C-alpha cells in the first residue's frame, strides 16, 4: 500500500544506522574511488599534455609537413578536442575524489553530516555522468539521422 503525503511524517524521526559490514563496504568503496579519482586526475594531466604537445607541434612544424594535415585534420582541432575532454573529465573525477575523502572522514568521525556530504558528492558524480551520457546518445542519434539523410540524398 503506497504512502500518502500525510504519512511521510512517520519517517521524520527515522534514523538509519550502519552495521559493521556496511561500514566495511563503504570504507572499501572509498579506497577504490580514491584510486580511480587519482588515476582520473593523471589522465586529465595526460590529456592536457597531449593538447599542449599538439599546439607546440603545430608551431614547430610547417603546416604542409604535419601528418594530421595529410589526413584532413587540423592540429588545432585535435588540441581543442583533448582540452575539452580534460575539462569534461575533470568534474566527475573531482566529485569522485570528494566522495572518497568525505566518506573516509565521515566513517572515522562517525559523522552523519559527513556521510550526507559524501553521498551528495557521489550523487553529483553520477548525475554528471548521466547527463554526459544522455547528451552523447542524443548527439549520436542526430549524427545517425543526418547520415541517413545524407546517404539518401546521395543516392
Q: Is 39 part of a structural domain of the chain?
A: yes
* Mean pLDDT to the nearest integer, 126-153: 94
Q: Is 144 part of a structural domain of the chain?
A: yes
Q: Is 150 part of a structural domain of the chain?
A: yes
Q: How confident is residue 63, by pLDDT bands cut at 50, 70 and 90? A: low
* Mean pLDDT to the nearest integer, 115-129: 96
Q: Is 126 part of a structural domain of the chain?
A: yes
pLDDT reported for residue 4: 59
pLDDT tens digits for range 15-59: 778 899 999 999 999 999 999 999 999 999 999 999 998 888 776
**What does the buried/exposed string (b/e) look like for 60-90 if buried means 16 or more CB atoms within 10 Å of the residue's CB?**
eeeeeebebeeeeeebeebbeebbebbeebe
Q: Is 77 part of a structural domain of the chain?
A: yes
Q: How confident is residue 153, by pLDDT bands cut at 50, 70 and 90? A: confident
| pTM given for the model | 0.78
Q: Find the distance separating the first CA and the last CA of the chain, reported in whole Å.
A: 59
Q: Count structural domains, the chain.
A: 1
Q: Is 12 part of a structural domain of the chain?
A: no
Domain hosting 94: range is 20-154
Q: Is 8 part of a structural domain of the chain?
A: no
Q: How far apart are CA 94 and CA 45, in angstroms?
A: 13
Q: Is 68 part of a structural domain of the chain?
A: yes
Q: Give yes or no for residue 151 having a pLDDT over 60.
A: yes
Amino acid at each position: 500500500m503506497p504512502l500518502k503525503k500525510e504519512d511521510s511524517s512517520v519517517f521524520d524521526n527515522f534514523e538509519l544506522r550502519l552495521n559493521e559490514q556496511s561500514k566495511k563496504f563503504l570504507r572499501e568503496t572509498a579506497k577504490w574511488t580514491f584510486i580511480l579519482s587519482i588515476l582520473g586526475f593523471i589522465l586529465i594531466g595526460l590529456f592536457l599534455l597531449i593538447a599542449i604537445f599538439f599546439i607546440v607541434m603545430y608551431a614547430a612544424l610547417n603546416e604542409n609537413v604535419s601528418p594530421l594535415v595529410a589526413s584532413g585534420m587540423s592540429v588545432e582541432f585535435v588540441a581543442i578536442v583533448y582540452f575539452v575532454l580534460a575539462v569534461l573529465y575533470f568534474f566527475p573525477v573531482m566529485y569522485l575524489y570528494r566522495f572518497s575523502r568525505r566518506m573516509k572522514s565521515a566513517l572515522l568521525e562517525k559523522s552523519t553530516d559527513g556521510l550526507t556530504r559524501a553521498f551528495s558528492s557521489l550523487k553529483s558524480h553520477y548525475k554528471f555522468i548521466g547527463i554526459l551520457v544522455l547528451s552523447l546518445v542524443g548527439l549520436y542519434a542526430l549524427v545517425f539521422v543526418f547520415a541517413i539523410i545524407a546517404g539518401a540524398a546521395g543516392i
